[in-house]
Structure 1
Amino acid sequence: MKFAVFVALVGCAVASSYYYQTENDYIDIDAVIADLPTLQSFADCFLEKGHCTSLTESYRRNIQDSVIRACDRCNLPQKERYAKFLKGLQARLPHEYLAFRQKYDPHGIYFHALEAELAKFLPHGTPYYYHY
């Protein structure tokens, strides 16, 4: 009996550490995208061009791995917000979006799979890719 409880506790600990740990998985990403200076500050942090808050740093720590692994360690709220963030960045700050892609996938190997995965978490009918 004690062994079963131990195994259950270890299983819970492993499962909870499987997903990326961020400061706030429920941030109002629509508000971030709508406020251009805030969106720019997120982009600057992620591109290491500006100051990171504890919140943006908690996201930045996971970006490289999430790009390579197509967000397979992202939980549902993280996938939803990541999808909206990239779409908003692409639409509102296209140069920063391209810089983001270049920084985290300089050889163009992983980003397509990441965006394909994240597209599943956008409202139906929302195009993921924009044409410039």
Structure 2
Amino acid sequence: MDYKLSVMLVMGVLACAWAADMYTDQYDNIDIEEILTNERLYKKYFDCIIGNGKCTPDGTELKETIPDALKTACAKCNDKQKAGVEKVLRHLLTKKAEDYKILEAKFDPEGVYRKKYEAQKKLAEEGKPIVL
């Protein structure tokens, strides 16, 4: 096999392997601010995530991603996704505390992640940046 072709093949395989280690960026341009400030949209996404409503394709992706993102502290998130997570966490912690408790009961019933994320909760309450 030609050397250039071999290098291209290896690079392609590595790119695929790297991409598999990241969450899809297909929904990165969704307006999170609009969802958080529009109660009707917010409720649809929230109901989807907790299993009480129909999900849009991006809602399904989010619902399926949350357990792994919690477990890995968003290690497979790109920078835009991390910024979105921070925005959503801040909103939940400061404006939707009851919803945060519902999500915590669903995704962390054993309290495994609770201690890990207590520092983020304190930062959000103080209006400081949340570190993922």
Same fold? TM cut 0.5: yes
What is the aligned counterpart of 2:72 among 69, 73, 76? 69
Indicate if the aligned counterparts of 1:45 and 1:57 stay in contact, CA closer than 8 A: yes
Aligned twin of 1:12? 15
**Counterparts of 1:115 and 1:58 in 2: how far apart (Å)?**
26
* Equivalent in the alignment of 2:53: 50
Paired residue total: 126
2:109, 2:20 → 1: CA distance? 28
Within a 5 Å distance, the mapping from 1:17-28 to structure 2 comes to: 17-21=20-24, 23-28=26-31
Q: CA RMSD in A?
A: 2.7
Q: Which residue of 1 aligns with 2:128?
A: 126
Looking at secondary structure, tell me which structure has more helix per residue: 2
Using a 3 Å threshold, how does the CA distance of structure 1 residues 102 and 47 change in structure 2: closer, same or farther? same
Bigger relative contact order, structure 1 or 2, given CA contacts below 8 A and separation 6+? 1
Runs of 5+ in structure 2 lacking a partner?
none
Separation in structure 2 between the aligned mates of residue 75 and residue 4 of structure 1, nearest angstrom:
27
Which residue does 1:3 correspond to in 2? Answer: 6
Q: Distance in 2 between matches of 1:107 and 1:43?
A: 21
Q: Which string of whole-angstrom CA distances, capped at 9 and with x for unpartnered residues, describes residues 45-92 of structure 1?
A: 111111111111111110111111111111111111111112212333
Q: What does 1:44-123 align with in structure 2 at a 5 Å threshold?
A: 44-113=47-116
Q: Distance in 2 between matches of 1:39 and 1:94?
A: 14
TM-score, scaled relative to structure 1: 0.80
- Once the two structures are overlaid, the 10-residue window that deviates more, 72-81 or 108-117, is 108-117
Displacement over 6 Å in runs of 4+: none
